[in-house]
Chain A
Amino acid sequence: MADTLPVVTACSYALFHAPFFTVAHGTTPASERTANPESEFLKALPRSLRSFAQVCAYPPHQAFIGNVSPKSLPQRPWHTVPGTAAQGGAGAFGRILPESMLYALMKLSDSFDLVMLETGFRDEAVKLLRADDSCAGADLTKLKDSFDAAALEKEIACGALPLVRDGKILGCVKSAHPTDINLSAHTMLENLASKATAVYALRRLFTDGAIDPKSIDYIIETSEEACGDMNQRGGGNFAKSIGELCGCANATGSDVRSFCAGPAHGLLHGASMVQAGAVRRVVVVAGGTTAKLAMNAKKHIEKGFPVLEDCMGSFALLIDGDATQGLLVRNDVVGMHKIGTGSSPQAVMQDLVADPLGRAGLRFSDIDCYAPELQNPEITEAAGAGNVTLSNMKMIAAMAVMQKEIVRGDMDSFIAAHGLTGWAPTQGHIPSGVPAVGWFLQWAREGTFRRGLLIGKGSLFLGRMTNLFDGVSLLLEAWKRGDVKKGAGTPAAAKAGIAPATTGALRIGLTLPGSESGTEELLKGAADAARLDSLLQPVLFGEGSTDAQKAQRDMERALSTGDIAGAVTFHYPFAIGVATVGHLKAPGNGRDLFIATTTGSSSADRVEALVRNAIAGAAVAKSCGIASPTIGLLNLDGAARAHQVLRELRGRGYALNLAPSLRGDALLRGNDIIAGAVDVVVCDSLTGNAMIKLLSTFSTAGRIEVSGDGYGPGIGDGAPAVGIISRASSATVVASALLFMAHVMRGGVYALYKEEIHSANAADLPALLAGLHEKTAREPAAALPGAAGPAKKVVHHEIEGIDVMEIDTAVKLLLSHGIYCEPAMGCTGPIVLVAPEDAAAAEKALTAERFLS
């Protein structure tokens, strides 16, 4: 069940042009009629309405239905843009429909004979429904009754509300109870209009997405209306009433409310239900609101605008647990405005943006597109409410400044790069983030979108139950199932040491024998990791055994078959060329700090190793979402030379963000590590190893490692997806190491490393390194094993104590003695691996030549 990922695969939108409802049922005109029936506003209102053709031509409407990208909207004013023949009511993921279709759908949605249609219009309504492909199969016998004008007038005289087009009465909506205000004609009209617009959006979703309505398990309705009677005014349930009309015979459903934030909550609920395995397919749907029609019409008319709030909006989207691609809803990093947060905009944005990004290990600039309140600014600015989307983007940019990710002068360019212009009608819940889903899906399919943050906010104080505000944000990521299925690993890719970027369920191995802290500590770490990341499945090796090497061999086998996608172990020898990149939070600022490297050795040559460590560190940091990590070299032997090589590499086109120390020096000092002056600290493995041990055991007086994520994944050509902890790692570090391993695998660390090396090689890395070797004039590493000499055999015996500078020469010596061996780097230093039967002869030869003392 934990394999089920909540992925949004399809969505649809609808706009219903409703000029009569705008005048008759918008709360602003209705209130005006009560307070000031002769007002100039009421006189001007009918004159200021738009035609259906104008509504279709309106650029933000074309963006709403998927025809004009919100990134390509023309300069404002938009309401003066003339329509073209090409701009109809049909879009890539939506439709614009006339009020007569709304009336027809209201009759279709009427289960209690409350909607009466005039005979001539009834015939037209049947034709309209038959002509729309999304209404195929709808029960049109609901329209079998019709009435003459006299019958309608009689009902209207008794309190029914008319349905009018061009001054002609086409029908009416009756009350459903003689005295209950919750079932009055007005409430029934409002609710039926909401239901009808939702029904259309859901039917459109099924039709355009070729989705079987019977495959839907659950419907979540998220509009702003309340259906019920005097004993339960908002009791519900719109959801099932909508599903009933859309063929969702196997679904149940319920309504979710939180003012404008309803859809974001609905998406969170639905995604969580899918991920929990309770259901496989959920639709989130909302109809429009009549009350908000013409809400700001006074201001619009005063400014010479037409009535821009003349459309009801609706949407439906599918969350599919069986998806192969779409937008993954990252339920693990949901942003939630908490009750204790208060209502200051800054605190709200902290909860909704900064916190979830922090938990996801992402920077503000890692979000391709923010989708906060997406109200059409032409409507809101004229109404004196400013540009809502832009205001939100300014707050997000300001938050990025406060987090020191951008400088204040870059706020505008940040907003231009990561924000959108709003385009949604001001129907409250409709603009609240969800209109972006259609575009996110499209951009993801086009390959131009990685992740977006959908933000829904709600003004809870309007209900006079609380002064609180509300908001939910959801990280949506472009996702493909790829090779990760049912928790299995990546067989082919793992062999090649390349794992695709994925956010799927991951099986991560953990070997048990050999811990100084005890198996219980490891098991607790594994359990904690699984609890913290429901998609991470720890796979244990060596349970009940004391044979650490056998556990590691089993682990390697599982990696090679793809049974596990990665593993965490300790005391594991990597081949020369592979070194691990550790990760912890910098004590000084709590930011991600990568130590490159901490075990293994990326090269036998010290300077080359430092250069390669910088590249490995960059790859790991990028896999954790840091797009352009800052990289600093610790001031160690050879660092100045390595820095020079990296600068040259950068000069030849390899994108490397070399950063100075806090003091402004080229190389880092120890305090820069504590302060977190850079994202990646580059050092040799032995130094990095000491650093990790120092930082992780500081608070236990060196007894046990209790902080950090261990020593990190092995990085290098052909590196296995193995991460390292130590025998002194506590459960906390074990859990963190497993989570970190899962995180980098999801981030596609091995593919990223390959890209990094490819870019570095393209910038002449081999030539620069060759120049290095000439200058250092060290022992040439020509006669590596495999070139000639004794036949290859399985080597498990470790010979320790050889200086790293001498390791190649030692290998050459043994090969010349006919002893097959491989150089490697253990956790405590370089080693030579030989077969157990050769161990004695090898040690004798090495001692004779003083490689060993």
Chain B
Amino acid sequence: MDLENQKRVLALAEQHGKENIVVLLGGADPEASGMIAETVIAGDPAFAGALTGVQLGLTTYHVLEPEIKQEIDPAVYEKNISMMEMVLPVDEIVREVSTMRKTLQS
């Protein structure tokens, strides 16, 4: 996960409280999405960024996950995301992110 973004996530969590933050991912790659989820939940696995050793345990979803989709106005979703739903490996992305959430988040 981008080092600068790790800093920003850490700062936001400290400012607003971990329980008040939901991380919403929009990346195209399943593996990278899973890795970012892992970073904001359990810490930077690459031991490179500000989240190294920091277990924020942030609630994390990908925008393609059904829990998020049902929260979005269908017209807005249709206009902004439906095209990418056809293009991206949705099942793999959902599996990666939800697995991280289920296995790492206490």
Contact = CB atoms under 8 A, between A and B. Distances in A.
B82 interface: yes
Given A384-B29, A386-B29, A391-B28, A345 B83 contact: yes
B84 interface: yes
Interface string A71-101: 0000000000000000000000000000000
B79 interface: yes
Interface string B80-91: 111110110000
Contacts of A550: none
Contacts of B29: 384, 386
Contacts, number: 38
A681 to B, nearest CB: 29
A402 B80 CA distance: 12
Contacts of A349: 83
A346 B28 contact: no
A731 interface: no
A721 B83 CA distance: 42
A346 B80 CA distance: 6
Contacts of B86: 394, 397-398, 401, 408, 411
- Chain B, interface residues (CB within 8 Å), range: 10 to 19
B97 to A, nearest CB: 18
B82 A402 contact: yes
* Chain B interface, DSSP helix/strand/loop, else mixed: helix
B87 A391 contact: yes
Contacts of A408: 86
B28 A398 contact: no
Most buried by B among A345, A347, A391, A408: A345
Interface centre among B29, B79, B81, B86 (most CB of A within 10 A): B86
Interface string A720-731: 000000000000
A347 B78 CA distance: 11
B28 A395 contact: no
A398 B84 CA distance: 8
Nearest to B79: A346
A168 to B, nearest CB: 38
Interface in B31-74: 32
Nearest to B4: A464
Interface string A340-354: 001011110100000
Contacts of B84: 344-346, 395, 398
A242 interface: no
Nearest to A394: B87
A411 to B, nearest CB: 7
A399 interface: yes
A386 B28 contact: yes
Nearest to B81: A346
Contacts of B87: 345, 391, 394-395, 398
A349 B83 CA distance: 9
Contacts of A398: 83-84, 86-87
Given A342-B80, A384-B32, A398-B87, 8 more contacts: A344-B84, A345-B84, A345-B87, A346-B79, A347-B79, A391-B87, A397-B86, A411-B86
28 contacts: A342-B80, A344-B80, A344-B81, A344-B84, A345-B84, A345-B87, A346-B79, A346-B80, A346-B81, A346-B82, A346-B83, A347-B79, A349-B83, A384-B32, A386-B29, A391-B87, A394-B87, A395-B84, A395-B87, A397-B86, A398-B84, A398-B86, A398-B87, A399-B83, A401-B86, A402-B82, A402-B83, A411-B86
Interface of B: 28-29, 32, 79-84, 86-87
Interface of A: 342, 344-347, 349, 384, 386, 391, 394-395, 397-399, 401-402, 408, 411
- Chain A to chain B: the 8 pairs with minimum beta-carbon distance, closest first: A398-B86, A346-B83, A394-B87, A398-B83, A344-B80, A398-B87, A395-B87, A346-B80
